[in-house]
Amino acid sequence: MEIKEALDYVNGTRWRGAEASLRRIRELMSLLGDPQKKLRFVHIAGTNGKGSCAAMTASVLRACGYRTGLYTSPYLYRFNERMQVNGEMIEDEALCRHISAVRDKAEKMDEHPTEFELMTAAAMLYFLEEKCDIVVLEVGLGGRFDATNVVDTPECSIIMNIGLDHTAILGGTVEEIAAEKAGIIKKNCPCVLYEQKRSVMDVVAERCRELDAPLTTADFSAIEPVFDSLEGQAFRYKGAMYALPLLGAHQLRNAAVVLEAVGVLRARGWRLEDGDVEHGLYATSWPGRFELCAEEPDFIVDGGHNPQCAETVAENLMHYFPDKKRVLLIGVLRDKDYEKMTEILAPCADEFVTVAPDSPRALSAEELAGVLSRFSKPVTPCASVAEAVDTAKELAGEDGMVCASGSLYLVGSVRYALGMY
């Protein structure tokens, strides 16, 4: 099997309309010998911040000497980014071999697995083959019926910030969505929670009580910012000093959750020395999350794709660039709440540039320009990402700044246009 055949097989599998259930993934994993039962996991769900949390957690575990798997989605450039061991993505040969093994079993099933179920199964085979000490596992969608929830007893479950996204699938209120996310919590397995709206926290706490799962909640009042610039930030959490290359106050909150998870893992016997934890946080790499990609003009790229993310982007723009001309390069998917997102971002923008992300679900640049016209600010629609990047840079000038945001499907192509591969 060649890489194109492997990816065509996985990506050609329909998932929309498939019944929400763990039945298919459980059957598939059983046919493969249940590789997940021979691995240990940190399992992470949430609407926002779960990818950053996963990247930080994996970096910390790796710095502490553990062979660490990382499973995330989506990807920026290559499908292989979804499966990494010690910071290195899976090679094409291994990916093809594991997808082939999964296909052989999947084709024998009465009900064919979904795209994400096939990917998850291949990832489990890979992490087992690579003899990972621990795998950091990011939920794809929701939690309760997500393919990653085939994991029985994680070392730690983490519930990150929860907001309104994928409402047609997960529910129309944050409390309903929280119940879906809390579906990853397992009996007697500890859970760490991002501090947030009380009604959301109550849903998670009730699930933990039902399952006798010890609950630890990050204490954001214990975060003390020390230094902050476009090069990174330093902070204290519960008195201990840490440095982080990721930008934004929201990343300090994400880091606090990771540090609480470190405490939980230590209590379960994992050797995580203070100095190694500090180094792991400082070494975290997570592209496309309020990332400074270029200068003159400053060029920020952020994959935020819902109103909650837009609020964070707006907060960061006004914090880091209060006096600069701000040009927003925006591309969105038509099934996202782009009306609310643009309403939040508009006060931060002096001008807009629009473009369609590389997705069949993308809103056209012209349609998005029409949405933005209500804010009475200049809008320039562009036919390609390369054109949009050049246009935005020219509008900003050397002393201004550009922020590209609105979709993770936009991030990779913008970074590529900026010469970052």
One-letter amino acid identity for 11?
N
Q: Which of 355, 397, 353, 401 shows the shortest CA–CA distance to 377?
A: 353
| pLDDT digit string, tens, across residues 277-336 | 999 999 999 999 999 999 999 999 999 889 999 999 999 999 999 999 999 999 999 999
Cβ atoms of 301 and 404 within 8 Å: the answer is: yes
* Cα–Cα distance measured from residue 79 to residue 228, given in angstroms and rounded to the nearest whole number: 33
CATH number for the segment(s) 3-282: 3.40.1190.10
* Cα–Cα distance measured from residue 307 to residue 296, given in angstroms and rounded to the nearest whole number: 29
Residues 6+ apart with CB under 8 A from 209: none
* Cα–Cα distance measured from residue 11 to residue 101, given in angstroms and rounded to the nearest whole number: 16
CATH fold match for the domains 3-282 and 291-417: no
pTM as predicted: 0.94
* Cα–Cα distance measured from residue 246 to residue 263, given in angstroms and rounded to the nearest whole number: 22
CATH number for the segment(s) 291-417: 3.90.190.20
| Series of mean pLDDT values for 10-residue runs along the chain (421 residues) | 91 71 97 98 95 97 98 92 97 98 96 95 98 97 93 97 70 88 97 96 97 98 98 98 97 98 98 98 96 97 92 96 98 94 96 95 96 97 98 97 95 93 73
| pLDDT digit string, tens, across residues 160-180 | 999 866 655 666 789 999 999
User: Domain segments of the chain: what residues?
Assistant: 3-282, 291-417
